[in-house]
A and B are shown apart, each in its own frame.
Chain A
Amino acid sequence: MVSSAPILAARGVSKAFFGNPVLRSVSISLEPGRIHALLGENGAGKSTLINLLSGALRPDSGTIEIDGRAVSRHSPPEARRAGIAVVQQELSLTNSLSIAENIGLGAYPRRFGLVDYAALAARAKAACDLVGLHEPLATPVGELSLGRRQMVEIAKALYRKPRVLILDEPTSSLSATETRILTALLEKLRGEGIAILYISHRLDEVMQLCQHVTVLKDGTCTADRPLEGVTAAGLVRLMVGRDPGDLFPRWDSTRTERIAVSVGKFSAGLMQDVDLEVRAGEVVGIGGLVGQGQEDLLLGLYGAIPARAASAVINDASGLPSNVPQANSRGLAYVPADRKREGLHLIHPIVTNLMLPSFARMPALKLRSRAKERETAMGLALQFAIKGDLGRAAQALSGGNQQKVALAKWMPLDPSVLLLNDPTRGVDVETKREIYAMLRAFAASGKAVVLLSSDTPELVHLCDRVAVVRDGRIVSLLERGDLSEEAIVAAAMGAERERQAA
């Protein structure tokens, strides 16, 4: 392959948020006539890299180069002028505007200072034809399905006649036909000499479409090479291989025969017809790519969102809880991922935060005993090693201590089933270690723990079993013996499909 000068490149860029390094000296170069794949797990730094390339973020160190020249003040308008177009994962369309208006937004053709709608329609039409959008151009975008909106988004990028096209998971909401159209289109654009950066979690697509691959893991680049001679399994290994160290406790299974939660054909939110069984004394992991419906599974079981099931048994009583107080009285407790908005009341003292689930369960007009509350809270603080004056507002605590409060507040209710939603997100390593030990201790004391996590090593090293969710279904249930990061990621991305087909 003849290598030509890159149109857009990053050289040794680093970026940190609040002292947390997200990218460490990463280089990538996008060359004309090449489809370049960017791979990595959730949180590996892919989005940050895209934002650096498109000028939405400024690197802490390193340079962005356009046509071989370093640009000092890279910004989104600058990037647009240089012909860089990004198709974002979060759709950036305005629902009430028409297809044509959305496509042209920000770059309307003008005539006498007014929008030239005839020219807009003609140019938008050309872009739509490329992506196979045949809906009338005046259709409001809000009336389109998610997949069609994604196509509008791509047409919007093409309207600007880009030299570099960055696509962030473009096929996650597309049907098979749409994906085929997009694949053909990308091949065609490649032939025209456009540089394309393609981010996808679907390895089969990447293998089929791309010529070059960059793999990110924890903010560093683990591979930058032609795709020739690499297998899907090899890519997965590049994405996840890391040393978990002694972050995780050693444990023996304490799984019992008693069934804590058992649901059949359970549906809630994105989850469709899922079967799941959780026994007392075990930790069941819920894995998969972000946003496949895992959270809805927990919230549905917890009675916080509408859910239905053909059969449901929770702690020997049948039926799903229809609201949160009912779930609590049946022994369920839920620790949300967003502790600032869902887990805690930051403006309230730590004591009241720790006591809230108890307040919610007590008779409404029973007189409170401040001394007793304080005693209970002190006990919890001691047990969970929560550092800080209990009378102070919870916002004074560090993220790790806040998370411990969000977990500890349930203990006075002695729940038998703990539903945990990413309990270690944004938590420092030391607290992570403490939380991991607690989770195994809960299981050892006979509680059932459901651990939803976006951190794959957690699932591998803490769980008795892991259910991997994709597209609202549990696609794989891995026993402890079969657990590996490769296996989980492969199931999450559907890499096993190929194996079955082969």
Chain B
Amino acid sequence: MSIRDAAFLSRSRLLAIVTSRPFLTFAIVALVWIVASFVTRGFGAYGHLRYLVELAAVIGIVAAGQTFVVIAGGIDLSVAAIVTVAAVGLPLFAIDADPTGLTPILAVLAMTTAIGLVNGLGVALLRVHPMIMTLAMATFLQGLLIIIAGGSAVTAANPLVSWVGNARPFGIPAGILVWVVVSIVVLVVMHATPFGARLFAMGAGPLAAKLSGVPIASTTMAVYGISGFMSGLAGIIVLGMNGQGYVGIGDPYLLASIAAVVLGGTSILGGLGTYAGSIPGAILLVTITALITVVNASPGWRSILFGTLILALLLLSGREAARR
């Protein structure tokens, strides 16, 4: 290969990266931040940005599970309910014998993973449509939460949970560190393992995937299990950041997780996409929310503005080319 060929290759690769959806979403985030920092006092400060990314970490972790599900051709509408289950359920697992607080966390993660596996069971084996299955699961969990927790908030006296919510090793919030680790693992699993390749195949054509030998049932269950695990992890971080868990604490994360996935360029029809897009997608969502708060509108208008902005962003960048 001559030097010119190499230069050409690296230039075309650079072009491919620059025009890719994840990069474009990152560019939009950067643009919004730069503009906002000039317009709004205090917006561009390091502390503020750090706070925004910390908030984005929770959405990003929920969106990690959602990205898996959506790429495999499904959707998980129970993520919000599972976040709440984790946040409200954790104090119930408190064991005095374990001063580190690790046992309740592991128990909660096991529980939310199991909830996800049940979703997967319904979708894969009972052939319930993912929307129906996960929506029914969400409704079921909400009912259960009301019975168990009632209307009152629960406080977590768990040292590890408080650490995740409040500690700043090396000046970086622990939640963000968790998100970085999650992101690396997710990206590797998605793009560098046969498991990841199977997900894309299932999402692009379930019948062709089945006839190519992809184990559909177990892969589907794994995907929803991962989504349950991620939502549980997010619930623990939210609990740590808030100090208190209450019914409804997870509600904002349903639309946010789906919006982050779609803003990041993942096809809602499945089979195409990457978590590398959901990451800036999550940050973009939090940034928009922060901007709206700064505008000082009433809660009703804030909601309307938020919805409109998401739609506008999707129209700008997220429309999919018609398939086939």
Asked if A359 is at the interface (CB within 8 A of a chain B CB), the reply is: yes
Residue of B whose beta carbon sits closest to that of A324: B213
Scan residues 127-172 of chain B and give those whose CB is less than 8 A from a CB of chain A: none
Q: Which of B33-41, B104-112, B189-197, B250-258 contacts A (4 or more CB under 8 A)?
A: B189-197
- CB of B189 within 8 A of CB of A342, answer no
Provided the pairs A328-B213, A357-B213 are in contact, do residues A342 and B208 lie with their beta carbons within 8 angstroms?
yes
Cβ contact within 8 Å between A345 and B271: yes
How far, in angstroms, from A108 to B210 measured CA to CA in the complex?
A: 46
Contacts of B197 in A (CB 8 A): 352, 355-356, 359, 368
Specify which of A342, A344, A359 is in contact with B194 (CB 8 Å cutoff). Answer: A359
A343 CB contacts on chain B under 8 angstroms: 208, 211
A-B pairs with beta carbons under 8 Å apart, 29 shown:
A324-B210, A324-B211, A328-B213, A341-B208, A342-B205, A342-B208, A345-B200, A345-B205, A345-B208, A345-B209, A346-B205, A346-B324, A347-B204, A348-B200, A348-B201, A355-B197, A356-B197, A359-B214, A360-B212, A360-B215, A361-B213, A364-B193, A364-B198, A364-B222, A365-B194, A366-B193, A367-B192, A368-B193, A368-B194
Q: How many residues of A contact B (CB 8 A)?
A: 35
Q: Is B207 an interface residue (CB 8 A)?
A: yes
Contact in complex: B208, A365 (CB < 8 Å):
no
Q: In chain A between 403 and 456, which residues have their CB closer than 8 angstroms to a CB of chain B?
A: 409
Query: Who on chain B is nearest to A335 by CB?
Result: B211
Residue contact B211 to A345, C-beta cutoff 8 Å = no
Inter-chain contact B324/A356, CB cutoff 8 Å: no
Count of CB-CB pairs between chains A and B under 8 Å:
94
Tell me which of A302, A347, A356 contacts B214 (CB under 8 A).
A356
The verdict on B4 contacting chain A, using a C-beta distance below 8 Å, is no
- Do B198 and A360 touch (CB < 8 A)? yes
Residues of B within 8 A of A409 (CB): 212
Residues of B in contact (CB 8 Å), total 26
CA distance A255 to B61 in the complex (A): 58
Contacting B at CB under 8 A, from A323-349, are: 323-325, 327-328, 334, 336, 340-348
Give A501 to B306 CA distance when docked, in angstroms. 80
List 7 extra interface pairs beyond A355-B197, A360-B198, A365-B194, CB under 8 A. Answer: A344-B205, A359-B197, A359-B198, A360-B194, A364-B195, A368-B192, A368-B197
Residues of A within 8 A of B201 (CB): 345, 348, 352, 356, 359
Judge whether A336 and B205 touch: CB under 8 Å.
no
Cα–Cα distance between A323 and B218 once the two chains are bound (Å): 12
Given A323, A327, A334, A356, which contacts B209 in the complex, CB threshold below 8 Å?
Answer: A356
Distance to closest chain A CB from B207 (angstroms):
5
Report the Cα distance A18→B212, complex, angstroms.
30
B212 to A357, Cβ gap below 8 A?
Answer: yes
Residues of B within 8 A of A (CB): 188-189, 192-195, 197-198, 200-201, 204-205, 207-215, 222, 271-272, 323-324
Tell me how far the C-beta of A65 lies from the nearest C-beta in chain B, rounded to whole angstroms.
39
| A356→B271 contact, CB < 8 A | no
Contact residues in B for A352 (Cβ distance below 8 Å): 197, 200-201
* A347–B215 alpha-carbon span in the complex (Å): 21
What DSSP secondary structure best describes chain B's contact surface?
A: helix
CA distance A395 to B193 in the complex (A): 24
Chain B residues with CB under 8 A of A365: 189, 193-195
- B211 near A362 with CB under 8 A, answer no
Look across to chain B and name the residue whose beta carbon is closest to the beta carbon of A336: B211
Contact call B211/A347, Cβ cutoff below 8 A: no
Q: Shortest beta-carbon distance, A359 to chain B, in Å?
A: 4
Residues of B within 8 A of A360 (CB): 194, 198, 212-215
Min CB distance A23 to B, Å, is 28
State whether A348 touches B204 (Cβ < 8 A).
Answer: yes
Min CB distance A138 to B, Å, is: 33
> A345 — nearest CB in chain B belongs to which residue?
B204
A370 to chain B, nearest CB (A): 8
Which residues of the other chain, A, contact B204 by a CB distance below 8 angstroms?
345-348
Q: Across the interface, which residues of A come within 8 angstroms of B215, CB to CB?
A: 323, 325, 360
Contact of B210 among A304, A344, A361 (CB under 8 A): A304
Q: What is the CA–CA distance of A358 and B323 in the complex, to the nearest angstrom?
A: 26
Q: Are A347 and B213 in contact (CB under 8 A)?
A: no
Q: Does A363 contact B (CB under 8 A)?
A: yes
Known A-B contacts A342-B207, A348-B201; the reply to A356 vs B195 at CB < 8 A is no
Q: Is A362 within 8 A of B194, CB to CB?
A: yes
Closest to A347 in B: B204
User: Looking across the interface, which residue of chain A has its beta carbon closest to that of B207?
Assistant: A342
Q: Is the CB of B211 within 8 A of A342?
A: yes
Shortest Cβ-Cβ A-B pairs, 7 listed = A360-B213, A364-B195, A359-B194, A345-B204, A328-B213, A362-B194, A359-B197
Among residues of A, the one whose C-beta sits closest to the C-beta of B200 is A348
Cβ–Cβ < 8 Å partners of A328 in chain B = 213
Assembly CA distance A367 to B271 (angstroms):
20
Which of A302, A304, A343, A368 lies at the interface centre, i.e. has the most chain B CB atoms within 10 A of its CB?
A368
